[in-house]
Amino acid sequence: MASNISALSGGSLLLAWQLKDKHVLIVGGGDVASGRIESVLVADAKITLISPRAGLHSLTKRFIEATDRITYHDRVFNGAEDLGGIDMVLTAIDDVEKSREICALCRSLKIPVNVADIPSSCDFYFGSQVRDGPLQIMVSTNGQSPKLANIIRRKIEESLPEHAGEGIEKVGILRSKLKERAPGVGGEVGKRRMRWMIDVCNSWEMEELALLDDEMIAKLLDDGWEKNRVPKLTEVAPHARGTAASKSDLQGQESLLPFAMSIPLMCGFITGLVFTAGLVTRFVGNTRH
């Protein structure tokens, strides 16, 4: 890795920024702003939205009406007084002068800022995103091609295991129940916990993890963690037997393969049959005459 160090360049530092109970100011209420609002709500932030009502996108209006997590001001940005207690600023207005002014103010106050469409006025960029419960994926082309970022995002969405969000959620619950049962930070118990969780994630399919409920989690800990092994789904949920598929059964392509193969096999068989029958007929015909 270090040998190819010159290749380590030209990218961004991808981060999952924490905004729980933080204050985000969004300036502008149009199409782009409505997308920003959604992303910021996902991160549990409190939003102050500043935009004349005439400029509000219909989705922005619905957000304002639907949640008390947005404090809305029907006016333009007023200057530094609007930045008190603000942890992050996102602007999405058409006024380039005003945008640059807001950016300069933010930088003087060390508030992270993103100005839509002006890369030099951005401390960070947004990317194309996938979200499924606790699972979040971002695709960035570092500004080279938003369209290709979108195409790749769609491919990723299609390739994700079914129920990935649910599976991750259940594993999160399993992990915290395990921590209750075998507490302690770091050390031997921490390492054993990590190893066992890795084994569970490697052994169970995402669809199987998504089926976990409280009862099954308790049984998985009793019969698995306590005995230092990883039980199968059918062991912790006997009622799931029959409906639950094993790791290999769940791979659709593999189970379809024998069927797909049987067609050329049959065609070949018939051709071989006809070919030999033809040969024999000629041979028999030749010997008879």
Instruction: Report if residue 12 touches its own copies, rule: CB under 8 A.
Output: yes
Instruction: Report if residue 16 touches its own copies, rule: CB under 8 A.
Output: yes
- Tell me, by CB under 8 A, how many residues bind its own copies: 95
Q: How far is the CB of 36 from its own copies (least distance, A)?
A: 9
Q: Which of 109, 37, 50, 95 is nearest to 77 (CA)?
A: 50
**Please, are residues 31 and 5 in contact by the beta-carbon 8 Å criterion?**
no
Instruction: Report if residue 135 touches its own copies, rule: CB under 8 A.
Output: yes
Q: How far is the CB of 238 from its own copies (least distance, A)?
A: 25
Which of 126, 192, 244, 247 binds its own copies (CB under 8 A)? It is: 126
State the pairing for strand pair 23-27/88-91.
parallel
Angle at 186 between CA 180 and CA 189, to 5 degrees: 55
Which of 124, 177, 244, 247 binds its own copies (CB under 8 A)? It is: 124
Instruction: Report if residue 138 touches its own copies, rule: CB under 8 A.
Output: yes
Given the structure tokens 């149009």, which residue do they identify? 30
**Please, are residues 211 and 237 in contact by the beta-carbon 8 Å criterion?**
yes
Instruction: Report if residue 19 touches its own copies, rule: CB under 8 A.
Output: yes
Instruction: Report if residue 239 touches its own copies, rule: CB under 8 A.
Output: no
Cα-Cα-Cα-Cα dihedral of 27, 34, 64, 76, to 10°? 20
Instruction: Report if residue 171 touches its own copies, rule: CB under 8 A.
Output: yes
Q: Which of 12, 44, 14, 47 is nearest to 29 (CA)?
A: 47
Bridge-partner residues for 131, per DSSP? 136
Which of 100, 175, 232, 247 binds its own copies (CB under 8 A)? It is: 175
Instruction: Specify whether 117 is catalytic.
Output: yes
Instruction: Report if residue 197 touches its own copies, rule: CB under 8 A.
Output: yes
With contacts defined by CB under 8 A, name the span among 76-84, 157-165, 216-224, 233-241 that binds its own copies: 157-165
Instruction: Report if residue 169 touches its own copies, rule: CB under 8 A.
Output: yes
State the pairing for strand pair 113-115/70-73.
unpaired
Q: Which of 97, 88, 82, 19 is nearest to 50 (CA)?
A: 82
Instruction: Report if residue 219 touches its own copies, rule: CB under 8 A.
Output: no
Instruction: Report if residue 108 touches its own copies, rule: CB under 8 A.
Output: no
What is the rounded CA–CA span in Å between residue 54 and residue 44? 27
With contacts defined by CB under 8 A, name the span among 212-220, 226-234, 239-247, 258-266 that binds its own copies: 258-266
Q: How far is the CB of 50 from its own copies (least distance, A)?
A: 19
Max Cα-Cα span within the chain: 111
Q: How far is the CB of 110 from its own copies (least distance, A)?
A: 4
Given the structure tokens 């379809």, which residue do they identify? 256
Instruction: Report if residue 107 touches its own copies, rule: CB under 8 A.
Output: no
Tell me the catalytic residues.
Answer: 117
